[in-house]
Chains A and B, each alone.
Chain A
Amino acid sequence: MSAGLGAWSFFMEHRAEILGATLEHVELVLISMVIAMFIAVPLGMFVVQRPALRAISIGVANVFQTIPSLALFGFLIPIPFIGGIGKRTAIVALVLYALLPILRNTYVGLSGIDPAVLEAAEAMGMTPSQVLFRVRFPLALAVILAGIRTATIITIGIATIAAAIGAGGLGTFIFRGVALVSDSLILAGAIPAALLALFADFLLGLLERRLRVA
């Protein structure tokens, strides 16, 4: 009870700082997600009818997913151009994590279309690119969005660790809290991060339901 009250008064005292960190967090996530989408969605569309490339690209994305996040941030620091301390390195790592769910769902969505629909599309004289953009893609959109939703939630969580390499965001409070053994500080980072994840999940879930056809 008193811990709860302590955390609450801490929140009120530092609300400007927490709000700033939250915005910084949102910025990290948004930039990473936009980049990841622009890579993974076209890549998924490109590999859907190329089984060899599909196996390779999903395999590579899988490997990134298995590297512990703190280690990945560490690995990236010494790499020239993309590495170093700060936001840029964090964004690179977050993009690498977000790729897999989006790529996999893009592929699954595009390849899970009713064969009768694809047969009709081909037989009506649609070109392969018309089949992709007018039939496969719109029908796969809800599944692709589900992948983006998963990736966003993962990214919001992992972005807290980005503070370890000086990228800012809500993780700053958590790391400080761990170092100073302060629950209030940890909660000041963890609670907004959790709320952010719930909010993003709700919003994208809403969009996903609207896009679901058939």
Chain B
Amino acid sequence: MGLSTEMNAKISNFSGNLIEFRNVSFHINDIPRREVISGVTLAVPAGDAVVLLGRSGSGKTTLLRLINAMLLPSRGEVLVQGRATLEWDPIRLRRGIGYVIQEAGLFPHFTVGENVALVPSLEKWDRERTEARVGELLRLVGLEPGEFAGRRPRELSGGQRQRVGVARALAADPPILLMDEPFGALDPVTRAELQREFRALAERLGKTIVFVTHDLREALLLASRIVLLEAGRIVAVAPPQEFLRLEHPEVRAFAASLETGPGVPA
């Protein structure tokens, strides 16, 4: 019985915003003139699926890393469950937040099962409970535990690795899921497959998701709200069905990429 249960207990009677940015700025070291994030205010209620959309260098990943205290704001504050990330013990905060990155970042010296069991093992779950959970999660992401649990990450395809990455992030049943271009390195066919499956999974699990991408199509598919970033500022926030109608030039630029991009939008 660890942190995640405790966090979930908090969540169920947590009425406010699960994640909240209050006028947050971030600059590297002590160079205030080069702000990566400038005056961002954003509230993410429980169950929301926010997609941070923007070009490379627009500050999407920085914003994501401010949520789990991998970075701390230079000005303003980021609240998770009503508490500033500065006040959280970063280790406890992170164990309650799932994290999926491009190329998955699986531990090559662990088996698939051990990778998925990482947070449970850090939280000192007993063996039975961990094994049951690993089996459950692998099935959830479409991998047969008997076939895959004992394999090493290098024996998997890119898509399979990313499935394991999602299973690992979900292991301790965290209320929040952060995803940094998780499907960015996959071939288009596998990517579309994983996007569809992930959308179904996300709807079923009811997690609060913050998802980073530079792919408008992906944003339209997965978001309940799209947050568009440009040079460290939020320039547009809209649900997907309204997003394309916005007049902001950066929205138009992304919309144009959709028209000239390969294939037909899903």
Across the interface, B107 reaches (CB within 8 A) one of A122, A123, A127, A135, namely A135
Across the interface, B105 reaches (CB within 8 A) one of A116, A139, A214, namely A116
Q: Does A71 contact B (CB under 8 A)?
A: no
List, in ascending order, chain A residues with CB within 8 A of B118's CB.
124
Write out, one digit per residue, whether chain B residues 63-77 have a CB within 8 A of any chain A CB (1) or not (0).
Answer: 000001010000000
Chain A binder among B10-18, B95-103, B235-243 = B95-103
With known contacts A124-B118, A125-B122, A126-B122, A117–B108 Cβ distance under 8 A: yes
What are the nearest 6 A-B pairs in CB distance? A120-B105, A214-B108, A125-B95, A125-B94, A116-B105, A123-B99
* Bound CA span A130–B121, Å: 12
Q: Does A119 contact B (CB under 8 A)?
A: yes
Q: Does A138 contact B (CB under 8 A)?
A: yes
Instruction: Tell me if A139 and B109 are in contact (CB < 8 A).
Output: yes
Q: What is the CB-to-nearest-CB distance from B63 to chain A, in angstroms, rounded to a whole number?
A: 14
Q: What is the CB-to-nearest-CB distance from B64 to chain A, in angstroms, rounded to a whole number?
A: 10
Residues 74-126 of A at the B interface (beta carbon under 8 Å)? 114, 116-117, 119-126
* Bound CA span A114–B122, Å: 21
Instruction: Tell me if A214 and B91 are in contact (CB < 8 A).
Output: no
Instruction: Tell me if B94 and A121 are in contact (CB < 8 A).
Output: no
Q: Does A16 contact B (CB under 8 A)?
A: no
List, in ascending order, chain A residues with CB within 8 A of B70's CB.
119, 122-123
* Bound CA span A84–B133, Å: 63
Q: Does B154 contact A (CB under 8 A)?
A: yes
Instruction: Tell me if A120 and B92 are in contact (CB < 8 A).
Output: no
Chain A residue, CB-CB nearest to B119: A124
Instruction: Tell me if A116 and B103 are in contact (CB < 8 A).
Output: yes
